[in-house]
Amino acid sequence: MTERQIRLICQQCMERCRAAETWPPDLAEFISLVSESGANAFGLTADAVLAEYRHWRNESWRYSGSDKYPWPQPVLYHICTEMRRTGVEHQMTEGELKRLAERLLAKWTKHVGNGFSIPPGPAGTPSTGSAASSCRANPGTTDDGRIQTA
C-alpha cells in the first residue's frame, strides 16, 4: 500500500469515529475501507473506473473506435469495453454498473496477482510507449505488465 492509501484509510477510520460508529472497525469493514482506497495493483477504485467509463462513453463520439480513445491504463480499456458490452446487453442501471465495475476490477486484480499480465491495450494507451510511460501508468509494474516484486 502506498502512503496515500494508508492516509486515506486512516481518514476514513477517523470519520467513522466522528460519526459515532463502532471502533475499531471489524475485519470486513476494514477490508472494505482498504478496497475503497484503491489498494490494488492498478491504484484504481470502482468509482475511478466508473468515472473513466462515463468519460469514455461521453467522449466516444470523438474517436473512430474504442481502440483510438486515449486510455490512461490498459486495464481500463478491457474493463470499460466489457462494462459497455454487458451494460447494453443487460440494460444495467447505474448501481448495477458500479457493482460490475467492482467485480471486473477485482477480476483483473486477481488476474495480475496470479502472475498474469494485462494484454496490451490499443495503440493510444501508455503501455505501448516507453518503459517510463508504462511505469507511470501502472506503478509497480514491469514493461511487460507484470507486477514488480521487492
> What residues contact residue 53 under an 8 Å CB cut-off, 6+ apart?
79, 80, 83, 84, 97, 101
Mean pLDDT across the chain, nearest whole number? 76
CA 147 – CA 150 distance, rounded (Å): 10
Closest CA to 104 of 84, 85, 83: 83
> How far from 125 is each of 17, 79, 86, 104, 136, CA to CA, in Å?
41, 14, 22, 19, 12
Task: Write down the pLDDT at residue 38.
Answer: 58
Burial class (CB in 10 A: 0-12, 13-18, 19+), 50: buried
Task: Write down the pLDDT at residue 24.
Answer: 73
Residue with the three cell numbers 451494460: 87
Task: Write down the pLDDT at residue 81.
Answer: 94
Residue with the three cell numbers 447494453: 88
Task: Find the helix or strand (DSSP H, E) in which 99 lies.
Answer: helix 94-113
pTM equals: 0.61
CA 123 – CA 70 distance, rounded (Å): 8
Residue-wise pLDDT for 27-63, tens only, equals 777 766 666 665 677 878 888 899 999 999 999 899 9
Question: First CA to last CA across the chain, in angstroms?
Answer: 13
How many Cβ atoms sit within 10 Å of the Cβ of residue 68? 13
